[in-house]
């Protein structure tokens, strides 16, 4: 467990210390209506992680109260994901449907206490009676039914005497409550549908708000941890348990921020659309952000858990850069996997001055010499190199083979190009070359200078393999629909050539193909006849480094990567830098990329350390220092900056505590770089405090709705993508000050 506790662990510890609970019991409660995604991995890591940190228990519970969307195949996928991540739910998987009888009995109790009633208004009336954020609602005429009548009707509902939607059971709470969720929430609805476990035993199903708290209570859960969108449901959670007089120890709900990642969508419903629409090959398509997708692509569970650890647990929603996840897998595999050679786009090279063949010893871990493991590779007259490792008219800075420039064959000899053979259409089909016998890697006495080493395979022993190169599923950072799909997210290379050891020896299922990236033998399609490899991730982040704002075509960025990827080029750290690096990664839990930037730059690290003295928020501070402050320090010294490290700490503090949004923080930072004014003063003067009060936001939404009748219509006709449009308009109107989460929720409510 890390030394710095997150707020959930702090709560758990206090509850254990005060004796509120003898044992920590958490639960991971997915609805089995789709495969779990990386957001669920976060929830799994939190719930199972906390249970294990405090010697408690975490239940795996299928929240199966919606008969029309759920299926056993999703139950299996959920179990598989939890297991793969290395967690143990003990003997039983729990199902909310197993508690249907108990939950029904609790409903009867509420009716008998006159705390629940059968309502029979139609949906539209119900919505009207509910009121708005600024206006209290009214109870329907049916709320005055007698207890006997309610008991009778509820029993008939259960017995299937009514059609779907004819009646509902509602809690009798407060139609004037400021929290609209408390305006007599629904407890049960009629659904004549077959349930995948309960069969046809029920035709009424409890709503989340009723079933969840009771299931937690029945299972003896102590801490019911969920995501922020349930914040307003917490009042119902407590009302139900309190009203039923359920005794301590009883569970309490705590919320954390859900994970969002850019360049992807993260909701089972949206992912199901991709599966159903055939945009991907299935839930486990390696481009999917599902746990099954990552698993099939070749991600390790360590990389995913490490990612969950790095992003931490917070109370404010944020978007995490997918590059951070990619970094985690790269970081994990870099240490573990063997390096081999594969040529994706082969170009034949004939070595004119060589006959026969010879074996060369080649380490699997050339970057980590004490680590043992090597294979033999065959050198022969005819070899293949990567087509773009040869260039007849090389641009400046091209380090590989050209008519003038020799190159080293990795682990092997240096070769020089003698002749370029072309077909009738001027395509290069072969290179004739000479090798330098005294240039063998490890015993090179040739004195020839080369600028890089390239991968190659011998035509005598190379095996043909299929390689699937994946890119991000969406080309848009914040995708809203199918039109944002990246049309180049899958490239299938049918006849790449690989050295045979990869197939015969299989020292691991994951490899680094030198200079190409990390690859994984596809666990489903790989056969001995047709070996298939998935690209897990490239060697470097080729997206983040882009300078222009348009996404470059992939080929171009790949070439760029190759150019800088000369083996062993990164300078070693000094001892002091290494000490800082270790502190940042191990103590402060920064990711290695950020730690690397900080440790190697004295200006940045001293600025960072000063800020850290002011505010213990290592990750947020590291982010702003390595991104924003670093830009300012590029051509300045610290004492030339307009702002101080103390002010940066203040800025992060008001972001952390929710005073301003992180978007506004950028604006405040810009101001600080010009004026040197304190961030709190800037926020005050310019009125930038985040607006979370529904009574202020609500009229603005109303206005946007009135102004855009066409879009309202389209939305109601099913174009739910437009939700983003309305939210965007409201944010724009408030100059980015409105709390996006509140806006989202209110807009969704109003458009319902
Ligand atoms: P989806 O919208 O993808 O279906 P959900 O919230 O409906 O997600 P459930 O299956 O009901 O998913 O949730 C199981 C648990 O996982 C819940 O406690 C939920 O809060 C959590 N969870 C879901 N999505 C995320 C996320 N993106 N980040 C963190 N936790 C999440
Ligand atoms: Mg859901």
Please report, for the domain that includes residue 268, its CATH number.
1.10.1160.10
- 113-117, 157-161, 174-178, 686-690: the lowest-pLDDT one: 686-690
Whether residues 470 and 330 fall in one domain: yes
| 120, pLDDT greater than 90 | yes
Per-residue pLDDT at 568: 31
> Does ligand 1 come within 6 angstroms of the Cβ of 266?
yes
Backbone phi and psi for residue 465, each to the nearest 5 degrees, phi listed first: -135, 160
Q: What is the largest CA-CA distance in the chain?
A: 102
- Whether residue 252 is contained in a domain is answered as no
| 506, pLDDT greater than 80 | no
Residue 60's SS3 state is: strand
Q: Residue 42 C-alpha to ligand 1 middle, in angstroms?
A: 9
Of 399, 433, 461, the one marking the end of a domain is 461
> Does ligand 1 come within 6 angstroms of the Cβ of 316?
no
Q: DSSP letters of 193-223?
A: --BTTTBTS-SEEE-HHHHHHHHHHHTT-SE
The mean per-residue pLDDT over the stretch 415-419 comes to 98
Q: Residue 357 C-alpha to ligand 1 middle, in angstroms?
A: 58
| 329, pLDDT greater than 80 | yes
The mean per-residue pLDDT over the stretch 630-659 comes to 89
- Whether residue 387 is contained in a domain is answered as yes
Q: Residue 95 C-alpha to ligand 2 middle, in angstroms?
A: 16
- Residues 463 and 495 sit within 8 Å (Cβ to Cβ): no
Q: What sign does the CA torsion over 280, 281, 284, 285 have?
A: negative
Give the pLDDT band (50/70/90) at residue 3: low
Give the pLDDT band (50/70/90) at residue 4: low
| 561, pLDDT greater than 60 | no
- Whether residue 484 is contained in a domain is answered as yes
- Whether residue 326 is contained in a domain is answered as yes
Q: How far apart are CA 244 and CA 325, in angstroms?
A: 45
Per-residue pLDDT at 508: 67
Whether residues 452 and 469 fall in one domain: no
Give the pLDDT band (50/70/90) at residue 138: very high
What letter would DSSP give residue 380? E
Whether residues 601 and 746 fall in one domain: no
Whether residues 456 and 486 fall in one domain: no
Whether residues 630 and 593 fall in one domain: yes
Closest residue CA from atom 16 of ligand 1:
40
The burial of 197, by beta-carbon neighbours within 10 Å (0-12 exposed, 13-18 middle, 19 or more buried), is given as: middle
- Ligand index nearest the alpha carbon of residue 77: 1
Query: Which two structure tokens, joined as six digits, stand for 633?
Result: 């320090």
Adjacent-strand bridge partners of 407 = 415
Catalytic residue among 258, 295, 330, 558: 258
Adjacent-strand bridge partners of 521 = 533
Q: Residue 285 C-alpha to ligand 2 middle, in angstroms?
A: 21
How far CA 293 is from CA of 143, 320, 459, 564, in Å, comes to 49, 19, 34, 30
- Whether residue 33 is contained in a domain is answered as no
Residues making up the chain, counted from first to last: 752
Closest to 632 measured CA to CA, from 609, 655, 648: 648
> Does ligand 1 come within 6 angstroms of the Cβ of 42?
yes
- Ligand index nearest the alpha carbon of residue 258: 1
Q: Where are the beta strands (DSSP E) in 46-126?
A: 57-62, 94-95, 116-119
Q: How far apart are CA 668 and CA 671, in angstroms?
A: 5
The mean per-residue pLDDT over the stretch 703-727 comes to 86
> Does ligand 1 come within 6 angstroms of the Cβ of 31?
yes
Closest residue CA from atom 12 of ligand 1:
30
Catalytic residue among 31, 166, 229, 382: 31
Q: Residue 230 C-alpha to ligand 1 middle, in angstroms?
A: 11
Q: How far apart are CA 706 and CA 719, in angstroms?
A: 18
Q: Residue 90 C-alpha to ligand 1 middle, in angstroms?
A: 22
Closest residue CA from atom 29 of ligand 1:
258
> Does ligand 1 come within 6 angstroms of the Cβ of 36?
no
The mean per-residue pLDDT over the stretch 64-71 comes to 94
Residue 227's SS3 state is: strand
Counting residues of the chain whose pLDDT is more than 90, the rounded percentage is: 72
> Does ligand 1 come within 6 angstroms of the Cβ of 535?
no
Whether residues 731 and 630 fall in one domain: no
| 17, pLDDT greater than 50 | yes
- Residues 508 and 338 sit within 8 Å (Cβ to Cβ): yes
Per-residue pLDDT at 104: 98
The mean per-residue pLDDT over the stretch 122-132 comes to 94
| 92, pLDDT greater than 80 | yes
Query: Which two structure tokens, joined as six digits, stand for 360?
Result: 């060369």
Which strands, in side-by-side order, build the sheet including 168-171? 116-119, 168-171, 186-190, 204-206
Q: Residue 3 C-alpha to ligand 1 middle, in angstroms?
A: 27
Of 497, 522, 541, the one marking the end of a domain is 541
| 315, pLDDT greater than 90 | no
- 63-72, 81-90, 702-711, 720-729: the lowest-pLDDT one: 720-729
Adjacent-strand bridge partners of 653 = none
| 248, pLDDT greater than 50 | yes
Q: How far apart are CA 285 and CA 523, in angstroms?
A: 12
- Whether residue 247 is contained in a domain is answered as no
- Whether residue 737 is contained in a domain is answered as yes
| 146, pLDDT greater than 90 | yes
Index of the ligand 1 atom closest to the CA of residue 269: 4
Closest to 385 measured CA to CA, from 418, 353, 425, 415: 415
Per-residue pLDDT at 407: 96
31 is catalytic: yes
Number of neighbours of residue 710 by Cβ within 10 angstroms: 8
Of 205, 221, 238, the one marking the end of a domain is 205
Residue in the structure block whose two tokens are 């197993």 = 98
- Domain count within the chain: 5
- Ligand index nearest the alpha carbon of residue 212: 1
Q: How far apart are CA 592 and CA 696, in angstroms?
A: 43
Per-residue pLDDT at 740: 82
**604, containing H or E segment:** helix 602-614
- Residues 15 and 223 sit within 8 Å (Cβ to Cβ): yes
Index of the ligand 1 atom closest to the CA of residue 258: 28
Q: Among 38, 71, 227, 741, which is best to mutate for testing ligand 1, by the most ligand atoms less than 8 A from CB?
A: 227
Closest residue CA from atom 15 of ligand 1:
30
> Does ligand 1 come within 6 angstroms of the Cβ of 39?
yes
Range 239-244 contact pairs with CB under 8 angstroms and sequence separation of 24 or more: 239/171, 239/173, 239/182, 240/106, 240/171, 240/209, 240/210, 240/213, 240/214, 241/213, 241/214, 241/217, 243/110, 243/113, 243/115, 244/106, 244/109, 244/110
The mean per-residue pLDDT over the stretch 34-52 comes to 97
Per-residue pLDDT at 553: 35
- Residues 331 and 272 sit within 8 Å (Cβ to Cβ): no
What share of residues in the chain are helix, strand, coil (percent, to 5)?
40, 20, 40
Adjacent-strand bridge partners of 195 = 199
Closest residue CA from atom 23 of ligand 1:
40
| 549, pLDDT greater than 50 | no
Give the strand pairing for 57-62 and 94-95: parallel
The vertex-655 CA angle with 651 and 661, nearest 5°, equals 120
Residues 6 or more apart in contact with residue 114 via CB below 8 angstroms: 147, 172
Dihedral, 634, 637, 643, 645 alpha carbons, nearest 10: 90
Domain of 303 in residue numbering reads as: 262-335+462-541
Whether residues 327 and 466 fall in one domain: yes
> Does ligand 1 come within 6 angstroms of the Cβ of 27?
no
Index of the ligand 1 atom closest to the CA of residue 42: 29
Q: Residue 212 C-alpha to ligand 2 middle, in angstroms?
A: 13
Adjacent-strand bridge partners of 457 = 384
Residue in the structure block whose two tokens are 């965007």 = 728
The mean per-residue pLDDT over the stretch 474-494 comes to 93
Give the strand pairing for 510-513 and 339-340: parallel
Interval 371-401: pLDDT, tens:
788 999 999 999 999 999 999 999 988 999 9
**747, containing H or E segment:** helix 740-751
Query: Which two structure tokens, joined as six digits, stand for 409?
Result: 């064959």
Q: Residue 44 C-alpha to ligand 1 middle, in angstroms?
A: 10
Whether residues 457 and 592 fall in one domain: no
Give the pLDDT band (50/70/90) at residue 558: very low
- Intra-chain end-to-end CA distance of the chain, in Å: 43
- Whether residue 75 is contained in a domain is answered as no
Whether residues 353 and 434 fall in one domain: yes
The vertex-569 CA angle with 565 and 573, nearest 5°, equals 130
Whether residues 270 and 355 fall in one domain: no
Which CATH number goes with the domain that contains 131?
3.90.800.10
Which CATH number goes with the domain that contains 741?
1.10.10.410
Q: DSSP letters of 294-338?
A: HHHHT--HHHHHHHHHHH---SS-EEEPHHHHHHHHHHHHHHHS-
Q: How far apart are CA 219 and CA 616, in angstroms?
A: 37
Q: Among 40, 231, 255, 291, which is best to mutate for testing ligand 1, by the most ligand atoms less than 8 A from CB?
A: 40
The mean per-residue pLDDT over the stretch 197-205 comes to 97
Whether residues 331 and 369 fall in one domain: no
What letter would DSSP give residue 388? G
How high is the mean pLDDT of the chain?
Answer: 91
In angstroms, what is the C-alpha Rg of the chain? 31
Give the strand pairing for 374-380 and 357-363: antiparallel
> Does ligand 1 come within 6 angstroms of the Cβ of 30?
yes
Catalytic residue among 27, 158, 172, 268: 268
The mean per-residue pLDDT over the stretch 672-691 comes to 90
- Residues 171 and 110 sit within 8 Å (Cβ to Cβ): yes
The mean per-residue pLDDT over the stretch 577-583 comes to 86
Query: Which two structure tokens, joined as six digits, stand for 548?
Result: 């222009």
Whether residues 586 and 651 fall in one domain: yes
Q: Among 47, 258, 274, which is best to mutate for testing ligand 1, by the most ligand atoms less than 8 A from CB?
A: 258
> Does ligand 1 come within 6 angstroms of the Cβ of 40?
yes
């Amino acid at each position: 467990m890390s030394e710095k506790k997150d707020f959930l662990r702090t709560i758990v510890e206090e509850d254990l210390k005060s004796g509120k609970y003898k044992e920590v019991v958490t639960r991971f409660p997915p609805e089995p209506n789709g495969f779990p995604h990386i957001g669920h991995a976060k929830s799994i890591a939190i719930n199972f992680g906390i249970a294990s940190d405090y010697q408690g228990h975490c239940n795996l519970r299928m929240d199966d109260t919606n008969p029309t969307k759920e299926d056993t195949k999703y139950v299996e996928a959920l179990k598989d994901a939890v297991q793969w991540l290395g967690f143990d739910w003990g003997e039983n998987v729990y199902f909310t449907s197993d508690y249907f009888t108990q939950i029904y009995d609790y409903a009867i109790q509420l009716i008998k206490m006159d705390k629940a009633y059968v309502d029979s208004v139609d949906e539209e009336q119900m919505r009207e009676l509910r009121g708005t954020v600024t206006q209290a609602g009214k109870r329907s005429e049916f709320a005055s039914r007698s207890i006997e009548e309610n008991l009778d009707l509820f029993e008939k509902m259960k017995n299937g005497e009514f059609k779907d939607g004819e009646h509902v059971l509602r809690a009798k709470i407060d139609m004037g409550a400021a929290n609209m969720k408390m305006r007599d929430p629904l407890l049960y609805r009629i659904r004549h549908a077959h349930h995948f476990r309960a069969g046809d035993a029920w035709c009424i199903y409890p709503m989340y708000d009723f079933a969840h708290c009771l299931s937690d209570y029945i299972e003896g859960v102590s801490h019911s941890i969920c995501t922020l969108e349930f914040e307003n449901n917490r009042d119902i959670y407590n009302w139900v348990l309190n009203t039923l007089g359920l005794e301590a120890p009883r569970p309490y709900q705590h919320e954390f921020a859900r994970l969002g990642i850019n360049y992807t969508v993260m909701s089972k419903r949206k992912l199901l659309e991709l599966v159903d629409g055939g945009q991907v090959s299935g839930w486990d398509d390696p481009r999917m952000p599902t746990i099954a997708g990552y698993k099939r692509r070749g991600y390790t569970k360590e990389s995913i858990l490490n990612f969950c650890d790095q992003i931490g647990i917070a109370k404010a929603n944020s978007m995490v850069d997918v590059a951070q996840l990619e970094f985690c897998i790269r970081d994990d595999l870099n240490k573990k996997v063997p390096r081999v050679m594969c040529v994706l786009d082969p170009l034949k090279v004939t070595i004119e001055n060589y006959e026969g063949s010879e074996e060369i010893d080649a380490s699997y871990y050339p970057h980590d010499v004490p680590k043992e493991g090597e294979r033999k590779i065959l050198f022969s007259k005819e070899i293949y190199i990567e087509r773009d490792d040869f260039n007849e008219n090389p641009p400046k800075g091209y380090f590989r083979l050209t008519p003038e420039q020799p190159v080293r064959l990795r682990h092997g000899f240096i070769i020089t190009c003698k002749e370029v053979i072309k077909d009738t259409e001027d395509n290069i089909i072969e290179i004739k070359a000479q090798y330098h016998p005294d240039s063998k890697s490890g015993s090179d006495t040739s004195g020839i200078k080369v600028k890089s080493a390239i991968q190659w395979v011998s035509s005598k022993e190379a095996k043909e393999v299929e390689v699937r190169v994946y890119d991000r599923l969406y080309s848009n950072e914040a995708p809203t629909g199918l039109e944002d799909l990246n049309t180049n997210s899958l490239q299938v290379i049918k006849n790449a050539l690989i050295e045979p050891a990869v197939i015969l020896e299989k020292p691991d299922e994951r490899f680094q193909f030198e200079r190409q990236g990390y690859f994984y033998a596809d666990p489903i399609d790989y056969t001995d006849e047709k070996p298939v490899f998935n690209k897990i991730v490239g060697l470097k982040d080729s997206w983040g480094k882009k300078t222009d704002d348009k996404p470059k075509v992939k080929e171009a960025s790949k070439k760029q990567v190759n150019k800088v990827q000369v083996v062993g080029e990164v300078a070693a750290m000094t001892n002091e830098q290494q000490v800082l690096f270790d502190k940042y990664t191990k103590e402060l839990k920064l990711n290695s990329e950020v730690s690397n930037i900080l440790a190697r730059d004295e200006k940045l690290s001293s600025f960072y350390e000063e800020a850290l003295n002011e505010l213990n928020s290592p990750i947020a501070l590291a982010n702003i220092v390595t991104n924003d402050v670093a830009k300012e320090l590029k051509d300045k010294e610290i004492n030339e900056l307009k702002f101080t490290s103390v002010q940066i700490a203040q800025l992060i503090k008001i972001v952390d505590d929710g005073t301003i949004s992180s978007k506004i923080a950028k604006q405040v930072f810009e101001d600080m770089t010009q004026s040197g004014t304190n961030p709190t003063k800037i926020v005050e003067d310019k009125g930038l405090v985040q607006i979370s009060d529904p009574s202020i936001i609500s009229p603005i939404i109303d206005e946007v709705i009135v102004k855009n009748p066409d879009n309202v219509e389209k939305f109601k006709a099913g174009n739910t993508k437009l939700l983003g449009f309305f939210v965007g308009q409201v944010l724009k109107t408030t100059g980015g000050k409105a709390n996006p989460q509140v806006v989202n929720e209110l807009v969704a409510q109003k458009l319902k």
